[in-house]
């Protein structure tokens, strides 16, 4: 493992300009770490909403199972990073197993590649056919580089992928629905909002009914809280 090449490729991940570049450069960084497969997973908390989960995978198909399958990563493969415990069930939303395959690195030294930031946590796993000898200088170098790559991927995914995920998950309100919701958030009744907008009370009620349905809530107070959490209204 050439350290200069590893650092160069990790730095290139941080400089990625879009998600395609991010995925490609992650693969090159994993390759420089002599890894055959890489799996990066991130969970972003959104109180009072459900967390958002996202995953990036790189590497060739695993024993014919397909690029997105990690179920067959056993036998000669050893993970250079393992989850400390079982992830939230939400990881399954992206076709990932509830936990990584039961593979134990033949090393007693910790292989940890997790990163925790404000409101988000992530883990990076790399499968290698060749595992450095326990306690060796090479093992320490790989572990250090793995932790560095985990942090770089965390920052890059938060910058490039998470905003798109949030936008995709947010319900699409019409301009009139958003306007009505903004006035309701200020404590205005349907009648007052109708007067402000120059429409009928029933029209405002119709728009607010649609807002509640799209947001999946049952009260206007809940609608305001969720819309603010999603950034739909200030």
Instruction: Look at residue 87 and tell me whether its pLDDT is greater than 50.
Output: no
For domain 3-166, give the fold.
Beta-Lactamase (3.30.450)
Taking all residues of the chain, what is their mean pLDDT, rounded to a whole number? 78
The structural domains of the chain, with segments of one domain joined by +, span: 3-166, 170-230
Q: Which residue has the higher pLDDT, 99 or 217?
A: 217
Q: Could you report the per-residue pLDDT of 93-135, keeping only the tens digit for each?
A: 333 333 433 333 333 233 446 667 778 888 787 877 677 777 7
Q: How far apart are CA 223 and CA 226, in angstroms?
A: 5
**Which range in 38-47, 166-175, 181-190 is most confidently predicted, on average pLDDT?**
181-190
Instruction: Look at residue 91 and tell me whether its pLDDT is greater than 80.
Output: no
Q: Could you report the per-residue pLDDT of 34-79, keeping only the tens digit for each?
A: 887 788 888 888 877 888 888 888 876 544 333 344 443 433 444 5
Q: Angle between the 190-197 and 175-185 helix axes, to the nearest 10 degrees?
A: 130
Instruction: Look at residue 92 and tell me whether its pLDDT is greater than 60.
Output: no
Q: Give pTM, 2 decimals.
A: 0.70
What pLDDT sits at residue 107? Answer: 35
Mean local confidence (pLDDT), 28-38: 87
User: Within 10 Å of residue 149's Cβ, how many Cβ atoms?
Assistant: 29
Identify whether the C-beta of residue 208 lies closer than 8 Å to the C-beta of residue 190: yes
CATH of domain 170-230: 1.10.10.10
Instruction: Tell me, rounded to whole angstroms, the distance of Cα 133 from its chain centroid.
Output: 32
What pLDDT sits at residue 114? Answer: 65
What pLDDT sits at residue 200? Answer: 96
Least confident of 14-28, 44-58, 59-73, 185-199: 59-73
What pLDDT sits at residue 115? Answer: 67
What pLDDT sits at residue 168? Answer: 84
What pLDDT sits at residue 43? Answer: 83
Beta bridge partners of 126: 38
What pLDDT sits at residue 133? Answer: 78
Identify whether the C-beta of residue 204 lies closer than 8 Å to the C-beta of residue 180: yes
What pLDDT sits at residue 142? Answer: 84
> Nearest CA to 57 among 71, 41, 38, 80?
38
Residue 161's pLDDT band, with cuts at 50, 70 and 90, is very high
Identify whether the C-beta of residue 79 lies closer than 8 Å to the C-beta of residue 126: yes
């Amino acid at each position: 493992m050439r350290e200069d090449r590893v650092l160069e490729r990790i730095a290139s991940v941080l400089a990625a300009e879009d998600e395609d570049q991010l995925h490609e450069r992650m693969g090159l960084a994993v390759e420089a770490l002599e890894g055959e497969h890489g799996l990066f997973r991130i969970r972003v908390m959104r109180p009072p909403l459900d967390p958002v989960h996202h995953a990036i995978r790189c590497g060739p198909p695993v024993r014919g199972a397909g690029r997105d399958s990690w179920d067959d990563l056993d036998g000669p493969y050893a993970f250079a990073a393992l989850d400390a415990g079982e992830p939230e069930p939400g990881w399954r939303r992206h076709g990932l197993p509830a936990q990584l395959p039961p593979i134990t690195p033949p090393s007693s030294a910790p292989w940890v590649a997790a990163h925790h930031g404000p409101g988000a946590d992530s883990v990076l796993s790399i499968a290698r056919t060749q595992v450095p000898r326990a306690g060796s200088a090479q093992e320490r170098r790989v572990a250090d580089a793995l932790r560095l790559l985990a942090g770089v991927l965390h920052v890059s995914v938060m910058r490039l992928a998470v905003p798109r995920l949030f936008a995709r998950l947010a319900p699409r309100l019409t301009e009139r629905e958003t306007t009505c919701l903004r006035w309701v958030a200020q404590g205005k009744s349907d009648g007052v909002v109708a007067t402000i907008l120059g429409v009928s009370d029933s029209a405002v009620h119709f728009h607010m009914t649609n807002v509640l349905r799209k947001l999946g809530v049952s009260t206007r107070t809940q609608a305001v809280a969720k819309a603010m959490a999603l950034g739909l209204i200030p």
